[in-house]
């Protein structure tokens, strides 16, 4: 089919973008299945991107393990896998455009120097603006920040409703190029989503607090703003998000159909009780035919089955 025909029909392009910091756990499977079924149920494409831009957090072999697990669960993605580690030139380009527009400044502050500053919603420190109007005498830039102007950014999340944030007041000027020379996740994700033509971002609600920053960057870079849907994040009995830090178990690959049905139930889709017994292909077919974003519970965190 020609690109024009796709554009005419408003082709939906979704994606799953795991960070290879450990094996897939129940929480990552939620984002994978939710993003995939949303795109597929609209006749759209679903792309896969390995977010290995933050190299110190990457675990050797984890990315390959994630790809194998996704295949085992019957996921099929369109096109080649995109690796952020190979995308430095695109991030540099976007950074240079922002720099040319006067939106970037060098910052000498260390984490310790900012330890007293207020906490933003996502737990990071609000930048107090120390280097905004020039570096203090005899200090060198460590990181580079985006100059954020006051004003509210808002969007209608397909699950969480209307979200609004004054990024300048809440987060302040945020880092785009880190002190260790790596581009920040916020920049990388925006550049990659735009280049891939992503029209909808379906991911965990732990990233809801990043979205207004990302929309701000999309506007500054003249990128289209995708539709967003933030799914409940899976937590353990202590209410902690499943992650490597909270020792989330890798998904059990022995019974992929049963686990996908559990994810469907977690996402409020009410799969029939005997669906898993019909096999993996039947679970996928049911998911594609019955997916409804409207049924996804509107909460940011929800206990995962098996973690009571």
Instruction: Tell me: does residue 27 bind ligand GLU (CB under 6 A).
Output: no
Site string for ligand GLU, 194-233 (x = CB under 6 A): ---------x---x--------------------------
The residue among 59 and 141 lying less far from ligand GLU, judged by its C-beta, is 59
Angstrom distance (rounded) from CA 303 to CA 262: 12
Q: In 10 A of CB 52, how many CB atoms?
A: 21
The residue among 16 and 286 lying less far from ligand GLU, judged by its C-beta, is 16
What is the DSSP pairing of strand 233-235 with strand 227-231? Answer: unpaired
Site string for ligand GLU, 162-201 (x = CB under 6 A): ---------------------------x------------
Site string for ligand GLU, 38-67 (x = CB under 6 A): -------------x----------------
Q: Which of 125, 120, 270, 127 is nearest to 208 (CA)?
A: 120
List CB contacts of 159: < 8 A, sequence separation 6 or more: 205, 229, 230, 231, 293, 296, 298
Instruction: Tell me: does residue 18 bind ligand GLU (CB under 6 A).
Output: yes
Q: How far is the CB of 52 from ligand GLU (least distance, A)?
A: 9
Bridge partners of residue 47, in order along the sequence: 15
Instruction: Choose the stretch contacting ligand GLU; rule: CB under 6 A; options: 14-22, 133-141, 143-151, 219-227.
Output: 14-22
The residue among 54 and 131 lying less far from ligand GLU, judged by its C-beta, is 54
Q: How far is CA 127 from the centre of its chain?
A: 23
The residue among 19 and 269 lying less far from ligand GLU, judged by its C-beta, is 19
Angstrom distance (rounded) from CA 90 to CA 143: 19
Residue 209, SS3? helix
Residue 70, SS3? helix
The residue among 214 and 269 lying less far from ligand GLU, judged by its C-beta, is 214
Instruction: Tell me: does residue 17 bind ligand GLU (CB under 6 A).
Output: yes
Instruction: Tell me: does residue 19 bind ligand GLU (CB under 6 A).
Output: yes
Angstrom distance (rounded) from CA 297 to CA 210: 20
Q: Which of 220, 65, 94 is nearest to 147 (CA)?
A: 220
The residue among 208 and 276 lying less far from ligand GLU, judged by its C-beta, is 208
Write out the residues near ligand GLU by the rule CB under 6 A: 17-19, 51, 189, 203, 207
């Amino acid at each position: 089919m020609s690109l024009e025909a796709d554009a005419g029909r408003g082709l939906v392009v979704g994606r799953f973008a795991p960070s290879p910091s450990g094996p897939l756990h129940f929480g990552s499977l939620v984002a994978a299945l939710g993003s995939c079924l949303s795109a597929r149920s609209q006749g759209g494409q679903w792309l896969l991107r390995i977010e290995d831009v933050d190299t110190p957090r990457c675990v050797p072999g984890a990315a390959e393990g994630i790809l194998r697990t996704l295949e085992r669960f019957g996921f099929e993605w369109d096109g080649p896998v995109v690796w952020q580690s190979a995308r430095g030139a695109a991030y540099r380009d976007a950074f240079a455009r922002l720099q040319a527009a006067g939106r970037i400044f060098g910052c000498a502050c260390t984490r310790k120097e900012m330890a007293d500053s207020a906490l933003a919603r996502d737990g990071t420190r609000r930048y107090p603006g120390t280097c905004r109007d020039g570096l203090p005498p005899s200090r060198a830039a460590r990181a580079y920040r985006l100059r954020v102007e006051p004003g509210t950014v808002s969007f209608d999340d397909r699950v969480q409703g209307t979200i609004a944030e004054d990024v300048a007041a809440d987060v302040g000027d945020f880092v785009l190029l880190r002190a260790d020379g790596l581009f920040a996740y916020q920049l990388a994700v925006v550049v990659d989503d735009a280049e891939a033509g992503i029209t909808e971002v379906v991911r965990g609600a732990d990233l809801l607090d990043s979205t207004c920053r990302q929309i701000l960057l999309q506007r500054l870079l003249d990128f289209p703003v995708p539709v967003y849907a933030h799914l409940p994040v899976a937590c353990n009995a202590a209410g902690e998000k499943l992650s490597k830090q909270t020792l989330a178990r890798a998904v059990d690959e022995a019974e992929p159909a049963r686990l996908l049905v559990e994810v469907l139930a977690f996402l409020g889709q009410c799969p029939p009780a005997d669906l898993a017994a019909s096999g993996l292909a039947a679970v996928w077919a049911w998911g594609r035919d019955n997916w409804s974003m409207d049924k996804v519970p509107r909460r940011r965190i929800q206990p995962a089955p098996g973690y009571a």
